[in-house]
Structures are given as C-alpha cells and as structure tokens.
Chains A and B, each alone.
Chain A
Amino acid sequence: MIFDIIIYVFLGIGVFFNVLAGVGLLRFPDVYTRLHAGTKCTTFGSIFIIGSVILIGFKNWWSGDLNGSVLVIHSAFALIAILLTNPVSAHAIARAAHKSGVMPAQAVIDELQDKPTEKSTRKKTSSKTAFSKKEGEQ
C-alpha cells in the first residue's frame, strides 16, 4: 500500500516537471533558453517516471514474477541513455545554432563571438607544425 503511494507520488513529480518543460518551450524567447527548459526539466521528470517504473518492476520481481527483472533492468538502461544523450544533443543544437548565426536574445554578454574561428586556428597550428618539422630536418 505504501509502495503504491510512493509510485504515484513519483509519477506525479515526473509529469509535473515534463509539463513544465513544455510550458518553458512556449514561454522563453530564443533557442538557448528554450534548450534550458528542454534538457533539465525533461531529464529530471524522466528520472522520476522511470524510477516509478523500476519500483513497479521490483514489486513484481518480489512477488515471484521473473518478467519484473526485465522491466527493472531495461528501464534502468533507458534512464542511463537519457542521462547521456540529452545534454550531448542539447550541446550539439546550441553549437549549431550559434555557428549558423543565431544570437542569444536579450543577452548581457556574448564571449563566444570573440572566439577565433576554427579555420584560422587550424591553419595556424598546421603551418606551425610544418615549420617546426622543416627546422628539425635542417
């Protein structure tokens, strides 16, 4: 009985944060702030939803059903996959947005604009290494 209550509380917390992520997507002004809502809230909500699934699996396993172990382990792997891929994909989207010229709205400061472009640094390093090799040969 107490077990069921814990499961329902976990589900409630998870759904609340996932709904909040949706509201954040609608309310925030630009790509970067929307990514804030889209990564953090969905990860946290998913942790609790998957946590409740894991608890259900343990309950079945305890009562002698072997399929409970499948539920526990597979949902734990799903949780690990979400924890790994969610920040990485957010980073990829943010980087692509900044490279294609989307500036952060209402920004106080933007130090990324001062970053030397990748092409110029690559050329510099390659020419330096080539130069030092030549020197070494001589």
Chain B
Amino acid sequence: MLAFIITTLLCFVIYLLFTTGSGTEVLGLWSWIEIAFGALLSIVVGIAARKIFVKDSFRMLNPVRWFTFLVYMIGPFFIALTKANLDVAYRVITGKIKPGIVKISPGLKTDFGITLLANSITLTPGTLSVDIDENTNDLYIHWINVDEKALEKKPVDCKYICGNFPKWVRRIAE
C-alpha cells in the first residue's frame, strides 16, 4: 500500500510539473481538467508500477538523504565536473594521453549506490567506467592518464580515481 501511495504521488507531481501553463484556475498555473486527468493517470500508473518502482526497502524516503543528494550534486560533483572538462580540454588540445584500464573496489552494496558512483566516475576527471563485477561490485575504470604511483597497490586505491565520492554515495544511498 505504501509503495502504491509513493508511486502515485511522485507520478502526480511530475505530471503537474509537465502541465504548468495549461490554465489559470489553480494557483494561476493549472486548469481543473488537467489536475483531474493527472490524478486518474497517476493512480493507474501507481497500480501498474508499484512493484517495479519500490524494490527492496523504503530507505530512500528519508528527506535527509534527498538533501545530501542535492548538496552532493551542487558541491563536490559540480566542482569535479568542471575540473574534468578543463582536463579533457587540455588533453584534446595537446594530445598528451596515457590510457589504461584499472580495477577499484569501492565496497558499496546496493544497486542504486553503485549506479550513482559509476555515473559520477564517468562524468569526473579523466575516468570512464567500463565494466562491473556483479558478484563483488568492483568497477573497471578506463583512465585517460594513468598515475604510476597508484599502480603499486592492487586493487587501485579509490582516492586516485574518484576522491571521496564513495563516502558521499554511502551517505546518500546506504
């Protein structure tokens, strides 16, 4: 039941966001017909998709996690994205590369956490996640400029590749 309510509410909010400007009756943005039809559609979607949307637990309902996620996106993630782009710009112009594929084991357990980390790694300096070991959640990372110091220890230490991202992801998703 709780899963159904969550799915329906989220669906309804997204429907409302997509239909702003349809009328001026409700808060100056929506018309009554759109709201009624949105409620109907989101109830149908809630019945159909509740078991797909909410899989194992309700831990992502905690607002603290959403807030941490926002802080992470605006703060460390955006800074790393900027650095990544300046780095790639430098390599595009000069052509200095030293590529290789290395393995890291961040030690995350949930699917959502490992997805978030892999996406963050792809969008940050000089790294691209290529493959995943599904039994141990180890990631294989293509690194555009391999650091010789990092190769001394196997598997490679996370701090060379993604800084303190695993800590943030653990705070958000686990």
Task: List residues of A whose CB falls within 8 A of some B CB.
Answer: 17, 20, 23-24, 27-30, 32-33, 35-37, 39-41, 43-44, 66-67, 69-70, 73-74, 77, 83-84, 86-88, 90-91, 94-95, 98, 104-112, 115, 121, 125
Contact = CB atoms under 8 A, between A and B. Distances in A.
Q: Which of B95, B101, B102, B151 has the most chain A CB within a 10 Å cutoff?
A: B101
A87 B97 contact: no
Contact of B99 (A27, A33, A41): A33
Nearest to B102: A111
Interface of B: 17-18, 20-21, 24, 28-29, 81-82, 84-85, 88-89, 91-92, 95, 97-103, 118-119, 122-123, 126, 128-131, 133, 135, 140, 142, 144, 146, 151, 155
A28 B145 CA distance: 13
A69 B29 contact: yes
Contact of A36 (B17, B103, B128, B131): B128
A69 B131 contact: no
Given A35-B128, A69-B20, A44 B85 contact: yes
Given A35-B128, A109-B102, A121 B135 contact: yes
B interface majority secondary structure: mixed
B128 A67 contact: no
Contacts of B29: 66, 69
A20 B89 contact: yes
Given A36-B88, A66-B21, A95 B131 contact: yes
24 contacts: A35-B142, A36-B142, A39-B122, A40-B123, A41-B88, A41-B89, A43-B123, A66-B21, A70-B20, A87-B129, A88-B119, A90-B128, A94-B128, A95-B130, A106-B97, A106-B99, A108-B100, A109-B146, A110-B101, A111-B102, A111-B140, A111-B155, A112-B140, A121-B135
Nearest to B88: A40
Mostly, the A contact residues are helix
Contacts of A28: 92, 97
Contacts of B140: 111-112, 115
A49 to B, nearest CB: 14
B123 A87 contact: yes
Given A91-B130, A108-B100, A112-B140, 5 more contacts: A36-B91, A69-B29, A91-B118, A107-B99, A112-B130
